[in-house]
Amino acid sequence: MKLLRYGAPGAEKPGLLDKNGRVRDLSDVVPDIAGSVLEPEGLARLAALDPEGLPLVDGTPQQDLRLGACVGGIGKFVCIGLNYADHAEEAGMPIPEEPIIFNKWTSAVVGPNDAIQVPRGSVKTDWEVELGVVIGKPGAYISEADAMDHVAGFCVINDVSERDFQLNRAGTWDKGKGCDTFGPTGPWLVTRDEIADVNQLDMWLDVDGERMQSGSTATLIFKVPHLVAYCSRFMSLQAGDIISTGTPPGVGMGQSPERYLHGGEVVTLGIAGLGEQRSQVLPAR
């Protein structure tokens, strides 16, 4: 299934994408694509529905029908740093011996086509296409062998980052990661059963039509089962939490000369089988 949330910001309704690319309304079935709806029993209930019997929503998604973030009520937005060896190299940092964990504040979450707002004082706003892992079955101290049983599905994330805030402002990475609009999420949550091999997904990102990132989840240093198990050692994972798994090379910080977003650009990105995003960048205000 491809689960989504549609409608005006703050008033999104639950839906799913049918085989014809149209949105079907789930409002009479579930309150939101969130929480227990993402647990195995909740997903099984949705999978048993006949999409043709659900109300058809007017409009074309990502054109004249706005999509919100594909998960509502996100409790934790956990991110993994330097999880591609070639990205660590372009950042001038050693390959980590263990996953690097940081956070995006959930106030950063926006829809897949919402604008990215450059924050005040920014000089180095950057882009990062990433695979998002959505937790379904809650747990703590999860074994790697059981980790995928705790995954509801996957989505596209743009881990927008302000490098000066992140690296030069006397604090943790979080300071440059959680600004408002720095977490475009979606367009849809693709349930785990639809992805044959999460370790073989092509991913890309363009700025104003120029290809900047081109990679594959095949080159992840720490794979999804390891990340789920590892994160669960330090925090319990609840349904609707997101783990964003890192980015391949080609970020603005890695360009020569460095290249950043200042406003007016259009960032497009996608992952095979998971959909695409398109965001207008707004200048600082």
Residues composing the chain: 285
Q: What is the mean pLDDT of the chain?
A: 96
pTM for the model: 0.96
* Each residue's pLDDT tens digit, 145-157: 999 999 999 999 9
Contact yes or no for 281/263 (Cβ under 8 A): yes
Could you tell me if residue 177 is inside a domain?
A: yes
62 three-class SS: coil
DSSP string covering 90-147: HTT-PPPSS-EEEE--GGGEE-TTSPEEPPTT-S-EE--EEEEEEE-S-BSS--GGGG
Given a cut of 90, whether residue 200 has pLDDT beyond it is yes
Could you tell me if residue 253 is inside a domain?
A: yes
d(CA 203, CA 260) in angstroms, rounded, equals 20
199 three-class SS: coil
Could you tell me if residue 11 is inside a domain?
A: no
Could you tell me if residue 134 is inside a domain?
A: yes
Could you tell me if residue 22 is inside a domain?
A: no
> In the predicted model, what is the mean pLDDT of residues 158-184?
95
pLDDT recorded at residue 274: 98
Q: What percent of the chain has pLDDT over 70?
A: 100
Count Cβ atoms below 10 Å from residue 210 Cβ, excluding itself: 9
CATH code for the domain of 231: 3.90.850.10
Given a cut of 90, whether residue 75 has pLDDT beyond it is yes
Q: Would you place residue 190 in the very low, low, confident or very high pLDDT band (cuts 50, 70, 90)?
A: very high
Of the candidates 268, 83, 238, 114, the residue with the CA atom closest to the CA atom of residue 183: 114
Could you tell me if residue 16 is inside a domain?
A: no
pLDDT recorded at residue 161: 98
> In the predicted model, what is the mean pLDDT of residues 265-277?
98
Q: Which domain holds residue 147?
A: 73-282
Tokens, residue 154:
């996957």
d(CA 221, CA 226) in angstroms, rounded, equals 10
Could you tell me if residue 158 is inside a domain?
A: yes
| Count of domains for the chain | 1
Tokens, residue 38:
């993402």
d(CA 211, CA 274) in angstroms, rounded, equals 19
d(CA 225, CA 89) in angstroms, rounded, equals 24
Could you tell me if residue 4 is inside a domain?
A: no
226 three-class SS: helix
Tokens, residue 213:
């990132």
Contact yes or no for 112/218 (Cβ under 8 A): no
pLDDT recorded at residue 224: 98
Residue 49 DSSP one-character state: S
* Each residue's pLDDT tens digit, 210-245: 999 999 999 999 999 999 999 999 999 999 999 999
